[in-house]
Amino acid sequence: MKLGVDAGELPDETEELWLAFDWIHVACGGHAGDAASMARVAAACAGRVQIGAHPSYPDRASFGRVSMAIAPAALAAAVAEQCRALAAIARVHHAKPHGALYHDADRDPVLAAAFVDGVVAAVGPVAIVGPPAGSLRDAARARGLPYLREGFADRGMRADGSLVPRGQPGALLLDPAAAAAQALRIAANVDILCIHGDSPGALAIARAVREVTREVMR
């Protein structure tokens, strides 16, 4: 079981937060992040945390959280550009879509293939992180790429396993004990547990989740 964090999105993120994880998914310009923020993450994490790209729709205005009407070739080019920006600074170990693209690629085989094509064009056959099942998983496996099924410790979940949309009551789990309990519930069905670096109290949540997953792995 790995712990992953979506990071490099806020200027006040701490190295202590990043180093609490096994894998870090770094904003690389589409929704947030720039060369300076990527370099800061890379300097702190190199050799200690696996560094991955976290590309999104090219939409900084909406933080990548709004679906876009974009041609597959244009999406692949945008994803490749973001991955190359990170690859110029650090070795890219894996890639995970951000925000609306994460969910859209899960549902749409065309978008999923465009995302994977963009990643591979930029950084080669790296691992892909995404939802446990769906089009993104299928696209990664069709290209022979390792695929890690992801679950969220700090996001509310509906009965069908989908996430409670941001802005709705219960969308965020900010109590470390509640996040740890959710992590324990879903750990058997995922390969990596994610916490968002911009969640209030993310470090405390990470420590609580680490503790319960340590117990699971014994």
- CB–CB of 200/171 below 8 Å? no
Instruction: Provide the CB-side half-sphere exposure for 44 (13 A, CA).
Output: 21
Q: Which of 194, 191, 212, 214 is nearest to 202 (CA)?
A: 194
> Model's pTM, two decimal places?
0.95
Angle between helices 135-142 and 109-123 (to 10 degrees): 40
Give the number of domains in the chain. Answer: 1
Q: What is the CATH number of the domain that holds 183?
A: 3.20.20.370
Domain, as residue range, for 125: 2-217
Per-residue pLDDT of the chain (218 residues; tens, 9 = 90+): 899 999 999 999 999 999 999 999 999 999 999 999 999 999 999 999 999 999 999 999 999 999 999 999 999 999 999 999 999 999 999 999 999 999 999 999 999 999 999 999 999 999 999 999 999 999 999 999 999 999 999 998 887 777 888 888 888 999 999 999 999 999 999 999 999 998 889 999 999 999 988 766 55
Reading the block at residue 36, the tokens are: 């300076």
Chain center to CA of 208: 19
Expressed in angstroms, the distance from the first to the final Cα of the chain is: 11
